[in-house]
Amino acid sequence: MFEQTDPSQVQLTPNGELKHFITTEHLSREILTEILDTADSFVDMSAKQVKKVPLLRGKTVVNLFFEASTRTLSTFELAAKRLSADVLNLNISTSSTSKGETLKDTLMTLHAMHSDMFVVRHSSSGAAHFIAEHVTPDVAVINAGDGRHAHPTQAMLDMLTIRQAKGEFAPLSVAIVGDILHSRVARSQIHALRTLGVTDIRVIAPNTLLPSHIESLGVKVYTNMQQGIKDVDVVMMLRLQKERMNSALLPSESEFYRLYGLTMDKLALAKPDAIVMHPGPINRGVEIASSVADCERSLILDQVTNGIAVRMAVMSMAMSGQAKSRPILTGEEL
Amino acid sequence: MNILIKNGRVIDPANNVDANTNLFISNGTIAGIGEALDDFTADQIIDASNQIVCPGLVDICAHAREPGPSQKGSIKTESMAAIAGGITTFITPPTTSPIVDTPAVAELIKDRCAEAGKMTIRPMGALTKGLKGEQLAPMAALASSGCIAFTNTRKAFANSLVMMRCLEYAATHDLLVIFQAQDESLADGGCMHDGSTCTHLGLNGIPESAETIEVARCLLLTEQTGVRAHFGQLSCERSVRMITEAQDKGLPVTADVSIQNLLLTDENLNGFNNDFHLIPPLRSQLDRAGLIQGLLSGCIQAICSDHQPHERAAKEAPFADTESGMIGLETLLPLSLLLVEQKMLDLPQLIAKLTSAPAKILGLPEGCLTVGSTANVCIFNTEEEWSLTADTSHSRGKNTPFMDYPLKGRVTHTVHKGEVVYSPS
């Protein structure tokens, strides 16, 4: 009885340009490809002596991390600095919220300081969406991970890594292995892979680590890793958090490793040129064997490098879209 | 004080009345229906031409928030919302602060309601002390202080033995028990129906089994203990089937459903709209169809608002961090009229679900226009188009997805104990 609003509208300007980056779902192949192409140009730049471009000069980027993070926060910070922005890192989990301030009040305070972009990580699904839609729609919001919902920049750096290694998306078979249930990364990867044309997406996990209705995302479900990994081109491992053992989801790390850990034996079932990826930080001997993590087919460190380029790409695109979506003041109004 | 309500379509399902006629009210009671009474001089005449005249609505579940957090609502404000919606009686769950587990709290609610003087609020008492599911609450004393039913809300019992003892004790005193069935461990802090929308949004889901397992346990222990039992706010199609089966075998259990679970599904949550954060959750299209089927078959007798006002801040956060529930007193009638417009029910059937049926479940004398009974009357039209707005709504809470939504059918007068307590013009 309520008209379903187009969910992509939150992230796009009326002209279809990116103004927030909250989820890979509902975005077109053109937009995702534009992100990858833009990121490619920054990959080249990062290898040069002078690593800066002035795209965000004079802009203030606030990294708002309500959840602890080292690698995502540092790559966002580097990305913003390479775009010449002023960067403020706020670790909110130890600051305002412990004093009882609401998320909205924290955001409104930062808004009053004339911030131009919020990079937000939060433990609640929908946090970035809430901020972009209801709190500060005129500030570009980049989702750096919200609950189990989405981690779109991680997914796009994975897409960039796949494209660099494989070229085309359509013919690929991709397996995502591990704790799908709690993973925002897996959800964002699945949406991005589908939009970019991959038709054979497999998720591999025991039933306790699979959300109900996961097949509604357009994936094939395997509970047996040997079957699931057979002949795939890309193996994307997920991090397994230690606390999963305490909530009756798994009997032990060693049993998980035996059944779902990526070893050379299991990798041998994939295509001979299959690549291995992991969003990090990796648990050696829990979800991945050291021999696999360190082999030449593992692109884990390329992912980190690409992370900076992809974040530069979405930050510059969202800032540009956001600027265009604001009303232009005429001389009289000024 | 004599009131004549003339030329309305009087619908009184309890007495099988549906006729264009007059209704006479004298000194707080229904004096007659139909031809003019001898010795009746009206002090006030209400022309109800082209309007429906029915018993004041009886809402089997609505939160007034008093005693408790006054920023969410009070008996005074929520009474106003109720009569603006044609509701003259509503039942409040014991989840106030303090909880209704001592006679003093029940008395306080009665007193505050009498002070507000606009309508009747009757409290449900807690089944266990502090709703902790461990020790019996003083049910007999609570009943003498005005509690008309007992519930542990959705809070868990320590174990099935405690639950059985509660039911045995309630049965001893012939008290009505209301189950708001949800297994706390299976619900696991979830905030929406565990379906594909939930998987997309990455929220914690509440599986259907959280309700149905508890319904099964409640049905078995109801049968064993012989307690009078009612199921509040069902959300699953399978619960309807289980309760229907029990009813068919002769177990005298009853059930209600909120109007929102009859109209909406979990797909409404796409886009993380916090106003749809409800417990029990909005479920699938199949569940919604099952609830409607249960309403039509008679398995579910009553429709309620499950009114839960909140202050703005309680809804201004990421979805899972918000408090659940929506306001519904003022929209219960117009939204329920959609069921008539969609030809699922006729108007007298709908009015029965909102008046006589809930009154009968609760054993209340209200919900009818029987001569000699207390004059609680709702007069409304079915045609006026209007919208609830934040400025004009009476509840302290403004949390509903139906804010500014086009509604059809509006209350024009509410009469409580023979006095016109609400009339918008």
Q: What does the pLDDT look like over B50-81, one tens digit per residue? A: 999 999 999 999 999 999 999 999 999 999 99
pLDDT tens readout for residues B322-361:
999 999 999 999 999 999 999 999 999 999 999 999 999 9
What the block records as the tokens of B247 is 């009813």
Q: Point out the least confidently predicted range of A149-158, B32-41, B86-95, B279-288.
A: B32-41
What the block records as the tokens of B151 is 């519930």
Residue A334: predicted pLDDT: 42
d(CA B114, CA B5): 25
- Provide the pairing of β-strand B302-304 with B254-258: parallel
**CB of A150 closer than 8 Å to CB of A143:** yes
Distance of CA A226 to the CA centre of its chain: 27
Q: Point out the least confidently predicted range of A246-255, B114-123, B142-151, B255-264.
A: A246-255
- How large a percentage of chain B has pLDDT more than 70? 100
Q: Chain A within 8 Å of B194 (Cβ-Cβ)?
A: yes
Q: B252 in a domain, yes or no?
A: yes
How distant is the Cα of A108 from the closest Cα of chain B, in angstroms? 12
User: Which of B195, B202, B401 lies nearest to residue A125, judging by beta carbons?
Assistant: B202
Looking at residue A243, the DSSP 8-state letter turns out to be: G
Residue of chain A nearest B208, judged by CA positions:
A212
Q: Chain B within 8 Å of A124 (Cβ-Cβ)?
A: yes
Residue A243: predicted pLDDT: 75
Q: Chain B within 8 Å of A33 (Cβ-Cβ)?
A: no
d(CA B375, CA B27): 9
Q: Domain range for residue B117?
A: 56-362
Residue of chain B nearest A183, judged by CA positions:
B202
Structure ipTM: 0.91
pLDDT tens readout for residues A275-323:
999 998 999 999 999 999 999 999 999 999 999 999 999 999 999 998 8
Q: Chain B within 8 Å of A50 (Cβ-Cβ)?
A: no
Between helix B237-248 and helix B208-225 the angle, nearest 10°, is 20
d(CA B106, CA B101): 8
Q: Chain B within 8 Å of A155 (Cβ-Cβ)?
A: no
Residue of chain B nearest A128, judged by CA positions:
B318
- Average pLDDT in the B287-294 region? 98
Q: Chain B within 8 Å of A218 (Cβ-Cβ)?
A: no
- Band (pLDDT 50/70/90 cuts) for residue A95 is low
Residue A87 neighbours by CB under 8 Å, 6+ apart: A60, A61, A62, A63, A77, A80, A81
Chain A residues with CB under 8 Å of B331 CB are none
Residue A96: predicted pLDDT: 52
**CB of B328 closer than 8 Å to CB of B260:** yes
Please answer yes or no on whether A216 and B271 come within 8 Å at the CB atom.
no
Please answer yes or no on whether A149 and B202 come within 8 Å at the CB atom.
yes
What are the structural domains, with CATH classification, of chain A? 7-150+304-325 (3.40.50.1370), 152-299 (3.40.50.1370)
User: Which of B194, B203, B207 lies nearest to residue A125, judging by beta carbons?
Assistant: B203
Q: Which of A187, A30, A26 shows the shortest CA–CA distance to B270?
A: A26
Q: B170 in a domain, yes or no?
A: yes
Chain B residues with CB under 8 Å of A146 CB are 202, 318
Q: B8 in a domain, yes or no?
A: no
Segment 95-114 of chain A within 8 Å of chain B by CB: 102-104
> For the residues of B375-420, what is the DSSP string, one character each?
--EEEEEEEEEE---TTT--SS----TTTT--EEEEEEEEEETTEE
d(CA A92, CA A111): 15
User: Which of A2, A126, A214 lies nearest to residue B401, judging by beta carbons?
Assistant: A2
Q: Chain A within 8 Å of B205 (Cβ-Cβ)?
A: yes
Q: Is the pLDDT of residue B369 over 60?
A: yes
Q: B218 in a domain, yes or no?
A: yes
Please answer yes or no on whether B200 and A2 come within 8 Å at the CB atom.
no
pLDDT tens readout for residues B135-186:
999 999 999 999 999 999 999 999 999 999 999 999 999 999 999 999 999 9
Give me the phi and psi of B19, to 5 degrees please. Answer: -155, 150
- Average pLDDT in the A234-259 region? 90
CB burial of residue B381 (10 Å; 0-12, 13-18, 19+): middle
d(CA A219, CA B28): 66
Q: Chain A within 8 Å of B334 (Cβ-Cβ)?
A: no
What the block records as the tokens of B284 is 């699938």
How distant is the Cα of B356 from the closest Cα of chain A, in angstroms? 28
Please answer yes or no on whether A125 and B401 come within 8 Å at the CB atom.
no
How far is CA B249 from each of CA A162, A306, B384, rounded to the nearest angstrom?
61, 66, 44
Q: Point out the least confidently predicted range of A248-252, B90-94, B228-232.
A: A248-252
Please answer yes or no on whether B271 and A104 come within 8 Å at the CB atom.
no
pLDDT tens readout for residues A15-33:
999 999 999 999 999 999 9
How distant is the Cα of A297 from the closest Cα of chain B, in angstroms? 31
Chain A residues with CB under 8 Å of B199 CB are 211-214, 216-217
Please answer yes or no on whether A104 and B317 come within 8 Å at the CB atom.
yes
**Active-site choice (B194, B306, B391, B404):** B306
**Number of domain units in chain B:** 1
Chain B residues with CB under 8 Å of A8 CB are none
**B194 flagged as catalytic:** no
Q: Chain A within 8 Å of B207 (Cβ-Cβ)?
A: yes
How far is CA A270 from each of CA A156, A189, A210, A290, A325, rounded to the nearest angstrom?
23, 19, 22, 18, 46
- How large a percentage of chain B has pLDDT more than 90? 98
Q: Chain A within 8 Å of B134 (Cβ-Cβ)?
A: no
Distance of CA B96 to the CA centre of its chain: 16
Q: B413 in a domain, yes or no?
A: no
How distant is the Cα of B315 from the closest Cα of chain A, in angstroms? 11
- Average pLDDT in the B295-320 region? 96
Chain B residues with CB under 8 Å of A5 CB are 271
Residue B354: predicted pLDDT: 98
- Band (pLDDT 50/70/90 cuts) for residue A328 is low
CATH of the domain at B356: 3.20.20.140
Q: B392 in a domain, yes or no?
A: no
Residue A333: predicted pLDDT: 44
Q: Chain B within 8 Å of A248 (Cβ-Cβ)?
A: no
The mean of the pLDDT values for chain B is: 97
Q: Is the pLDDT of residue A104 over 80?
A: yes
- Average pLDDT in the B258-280 region? 95
- Average pLDDT in the B191-211 region? 96
Contacts across the A-B interface (CB distance below 8 Å): 89
**CB of B255 closer than 8 Å to CB of B243:** yes
pLDDT tens readout for residues A114-161:
999 999 999 999 999 999 988 888 899 999 999 999 999 999 999 999
Please answer yes or no on whether A130 and B201 come within 8 Å at the CB atom.
no
> For the residues of A57-124, what is the DSSP string, one character each?
TT-EEEEEESS--SHHHHHHHHHHHHTT-EEEEEEGGGTGGGGT--HHHHHHHHHHTT-SEEEEEESS
Q: Give the pTM.
A: 0.94
Mutation for testing the A interface, residue in B192, B267, B321, B323 having most A CBs under 10 Å: B321
Q: Point out the least confidently predicted range of A70-74, B35-39, B265-269, B420-424.
A: B35-39
Q: Chain A within 8 Å of B201 (Cβ-Cβ)?
A: yes
